[in-house]
Chain A
Amino acid sequence: MAEVDRRTVLKGVGGLAFVGGSGLALKYAFNTDDQKQDPSQLVAKDVSESDKRLIFSNWPEYIDEDDGDYVSTLTQFEKDTGIDVKYTADVNDNNEFFAKVKNQLGSGTSSKRDLFALTDWMAARMIQVGWIQKLDAAKVPNLHANIIDSLAKPEWDPGRDYSAPWQSGLTGIAYNKAKVGEIKSFKELLTRKDLKGRISMLTEMRDTMGFLLMVNGGDPENFTDDEWQDALDLLKKARSDGQVRSFTGNEYVQDLASGNVLACEAWSGDIANAGDENLVWIPPEEGIMIWADNMLVPNLATHQDNAEAWINYYYEPEVAAKLAAYNSYICPVKGAQEAMQDVDPEQVENELIFPTDKTLSETHRFMALDEATMRNYEGDFADVTS
């Protein structure tokens, strides 16, 4: 009798302990910390001198390569400085890359990279939470001397103290002219019957939603919640009608080239780089979205000096011209247009690289968003795209 009672009691106590323990574990063991960091506390000892290396993460197909007699800018840099550059094209999507490094940077540990390039809004976000090291202005004189005016003072880094644009670019429409007739506006993309199920759009919320806002007559730089909702509804409808085949990152070019996709939202340089003359990029009638990808040095980077040498190097007009001639993206460096004369005279007047003031006046940026709004909008957008 006593034995039974004892057992029951033991069982009860055990059960309670289990439930209580589980509850406590759930409540306290898995919470995540605030990811804000203080970059001044997270400066690694710089080993640039002794360990001549630089680890740089960039977007795919974003740099010129050695080709026969042609010596790429990267190879030239290595020759000039003796620095061994480990260049990896592992940035395919801002959010994806953010997820990749957030555990380290958010917890104040090293991301094992010295430099990476992210689009304006993501660069802003990282600087804001203190994940990015300040650049030593004395070591990047070319940056401050040569950056073009339109990129010199973004509101999120007015003195370019933390960031240096790698390239800037335009988002517009690309289509395969061998398979489909001329396309002029983003609206056609969303409505033309012959494009049904044959278009793709970008998973970059700011690019895609910027166009949808403009299709509705809005301004991406200044819009209300209602306008946002209308634009989102338009996107939802295009999706549920089966007009949109997919939302993609950088990989849309393959589908466009193979003919699975006839037309898509596209970044200007990608199409020029694809080397397929049937693929054309056009600025849509509604307007153009403009953006820049910015080089950033993360906390605890161990080769900051090398990174700064790299930045400084790419802000030499001749180097910038070489890179731009290959990339066909907007060159952020003053004097590169003149330098282009020697590099590739045909490109001097290329508006994709050196846009006129008139073109620049038609471009739009996306409104700066506070963290909460951004989360809502990102969530709304992701619900449609995934």
Chain B
Amino acid sequence: MTSTAGVPPVSTNDASGVKPRGRKLTGYWLILPGALWLLIFFVIPFYSLLASSLFDPDGSVLTGYEMTWHFGNYWDAFDQYKGQLWRSLWYAGIATIICLVVGYVLAYAIAFKAGRWKNLMLVLVIAPFFTSFLLRTLSWKLIFADDGWVVGFAQAVHLTDLLNIVGLTTTDDRLLATPFAVIAGLTYNFMPFMVLPLYASLEKVDLRLIEAAGDLYASPARGFFRVTFPLSLPGVVAGTLLTFIPAAGDYVNAQLLGSTNTKMIGNSIQSLFTTQLDYATAGALSVILMVIIVAAVMIYVRTAGTEDLV
């Protein structure tokens, strides 16, 4: 969104006196492929989305939509779908936190404890990508089936009761079609996006620094929180973003594993775009989601202070 239009060319040294004209032009030529890419795959779709968010809501696909600067769409969309918006952020947030905790342990084990199994474990982390997203998610439907052994086991150990108390399920006799199932699906599907960046940054942590912390009276736990964890922060930030952003906009998990009470904003946008063909509301809702996510990411990155970590 930022100044793609005003990008200066790679500047040649001003002090060098006479600037050869050709050199200056080379700069422009070099950014051309990038600029074209940006134009085709970002600027145009984004403008299209922005335009549709300002369509006259009385239009329709059959009669045509006209852009009338109808900013009211934003308020209408927000007001109507704030529940789904809030729910999406909430589900994505929980899934991200679970991914972070579980993924950190996993990445830590791979980076420091796996020894010669390291490569195998990394392959296993990305192995789910070898099958399609839809199939993987659908298979959870079988695993969590109401009459399946997972539900039976969860009931036997009173997990279902616990989930019911904390509000992640709505009854104690099933897991499918509950917030729990949706969050579990999100966690499962986006876990590799958490583990890989975490692994990459943990891998870079110099073991000698951890030793030095131990030498300086830090117990393993303190050494972890004072040294290992801060040094892995770039991975934590990258992983949480790569997990949270797609999770917040996801609709497949809610569609396949959830119920009508667990619909996320992605489902609303999808339905508005593809079945209701209400482009105005769909566009406005997409822009709202985007703004919320960009704002959240900016605040988050600021607070995490990753710019200090080189």
Per the CB under 8 Å rule, do A and B touch in the complex? yes
Instruction: List the interface of chain A (C-beta within 8 A of B).
Output: 14, 18, 22, 25-36, 93, 95-96, 98-99, 102, 106, 125, 129, 196-198, 203, 239-240, 242, 244-247, 258-260, 371, 375, 378-379, 382-386
Contacts of A14 in B (CB 8 A): 5-6
B145 at the interface (CB under 8 A from A): yes
Supply 18 A–B pairs (Cβ within 8 Å), ascending by A: A22-B47, A25-B47, A27-B67, A29-B51, A36-B63, A95-B274, A95-B276, A99-B275, A106-B61, A197-B177, A197-B259, A239-B261, A242-B171, A242-B259, A260-B177, A382-B276, A384-B260, A386-B263
**Which one of A22, A35, A106, A246 lies within 8 Å of B260 (CB-CB)?**
A246
Q: Is the CB of A379 within 8 A of B260?
A: no
A353–B195 Cα gap in the complex (Å)? 56
Contact indicator per residue, chain B 233-274, by CB within 8 Å of chain A (1) or not (0): 000000000000000000000000001110100011011111
Contacts of B67 in A (CB 8 A): 26-28, 30-31
Q: Min CB distance, A375 to chain B, in Å? A: 6
User: Contacts A30-B51, A30-B67 hold; do A259 and B261 have CB atoms under 8 A apart?
Assistant: no
Q: Is the CB of B274 within 8 A of A245?
A: no
Contacts of A29 in B (CB 8 A): 47-48, 51
**Which one of B47, B50, B62, B277 lies within 8 Å of A129 (CB-CB)?**
B62
List 11 additional contacts besides A260-B147, A260-B176; criterion CB under 8 Å. A18-B6, A28-B67, A31-B51, A32-B61, A32-B65, A129-B62, A240-B261, A245-B259, A260-B141, A371-B60, A371-B63
A195–B69 Cα gap in the complex (Å)? 47
Q: Is the CB of A26 within 8 A of B263?
A: no
A225–B271 Cα gap in the complex (Å)? 23
Q: Is the CB of B47 within 8 A of A379?
A: no
B146 at the interface (CB under 8 A from A): yes
Interface residues of B in 1-44 (CB under 8 A from A): 5-6
User: Contacts A106-B62, A247-B260 hold; do A260 and B146 have CB atoms under 8 A apart?
Assistant: yes
B52 at the interface (CB under 8 A from A): yes
Contacts of B141 in A (CB 8 A): 260
Q: Is the CB of B170 within 8 A of A242?
A: yes
Inter-chain contact count A-B, CB under 8 Å?
Answer: 123
User: Contacts A26-B50, A99-B274 hold; do A244 and B260 have CB atoms under 8 A apart?
Assistant: yes
Q: Is the CB of B61 within 8 A of A35?
A: yes
Q: Is the CB of A196 within 8 A of B171?
A: yes
Q: Is the CB of A378 within 8 A of B276?
A: yes
Contacts of A378 in B (CB 8 A): 275-276
Q: Is the CB of B60 within 8 A of A246?
A: no
A93–B275 Cα gap in the complex (Å)? 9
Q: Is the CB of B279 within 8 A of A32?
A: yes
Nearest A-chain residue to B271, judged by Cβ: A386
Contacts of A239 in B (CB 8 A): 260-261
Instruction: List the interface of chain B (C-beta within 8 A of A).
Output: 5-6, 47-48, 50-52, 54-55, 59-67, 69, 80, 141, 145-147, 170-171, 174, 176-177, 259-261, 263, 267-268, 270-279
- Chief secondary structure at chain A's binding surface: helix
Q: Is the CB of B65 within 8 A of A26?
A: no
**Which one of B60, B170, B268 lies within 8 Å of A375 (CB-CB)?**
B60
Q: Is the CB of B65 within 8 A of A379?
A: no
A55–B268 Cα gap in the complex (Å)? 33
Q: Is the CB of B260 within 8 A of A245?
A: yes
User: Contacts A29-B51, A30-B48, A246-B260 hold; do A259 and B268 have CB atoms under 8 A apart?
Assistant: no
Contacts of A32 in B (CB 8 A): 59, 61, 64-65, 279
**Which one of A34, A384, A385 lies within 8 Å of B63 (CB-CB)?**
A34
Q: Min CB distance, A276 to chain B, in Å? A: 15
A125–B51 Cα gap in the complex (Å)? 27
Contacts of B277 in A (CB 8 A): 95, 98-99, 102
A35–B6 Cα gap in the complex (Å)? 38
Nearest B-chain residue to A126, judged by Cβ: B62
Q: Is the CB of A34 within 8 A of B263?
A: no
Contacts of B62 in A (CB 8 A): 34-36, 106, 125, 129, 371
Contacts of A25 in B (CB 8 A): 47, 51
A382–B193 Cα gap in the complex (Å)? 32
A316–B166 Cα gap in the complex (Å)? 62
Contacts of A384 in B (CB 8 A): 260
Q: Is the CB of B275 within 8 A of A197?
A: no
Nearest B-chain residue to A30, judged by Cβ: B51
Q: Min CB distance, B253 to chain A, in Å? A: 13
Q: Min CB distance, A223 to chain B, in Å? A: 21
Contacts of B147 in A (CB 8 A): 258-260
Nearest A-chain residue to B64, judged by Cβ: A34
Contacts of B273 in A (CB 8 A): 99
Q: Is the CB of B61 within 8 A of A385?
A: no
Contacts of B63 in A (CB 8 A): 34-36, 371
Q: Min CB distance, B68 to chain A, in Å? A: 9
Contacts of B64 in A (CB 8 A): 31-35
Q: Is the CB of A259 within 8 A of B146?
A: yes
Nearest B-chain residue to A260, judged by Cβ: B146
Nearest A-chain residue to B170, judged by Cβ: A242
A242–B272 Cα gap in the complex (Å)? 23
User: Contacts A22-B47, A29-B51, A93-B275 hold; do A386 and B267 have CB atoms under 8 A apart?
Assistant: yes
Contacts of B261 in A (CB 8 A): 239-240, 242
Q: Min CB distance, B78 to chain A, in Å? A: 14
Contacts of A34 in B (CB 8 A): 62-64
Q: Is the CB of B268 within 8 A of A386?
A: yes
A105–B170 Cα gap in the complex (Å)? 44
* Best-surrounded residue of B5, B64, B146, B261 (most CB of chain A within 10 A): B146
A29–B59 Cα gap in the complex (Å)? 16
Q: Is the CB of A197 within 8 A of B171?
A: yes
Q: Min CB distance, B35 to chain A, in Å? A: 14
Q: Min CB distance, B108 to chain A, in Å? A: 37
Closest 9 CB pairs of A and B: A30-B51, A386-B271, A95-B275, A34-B64, A32-B65, A26-B51, A99-B274, A239-B260, A245-B177
A245–B67 Cα gap in the complex (Å)? 38
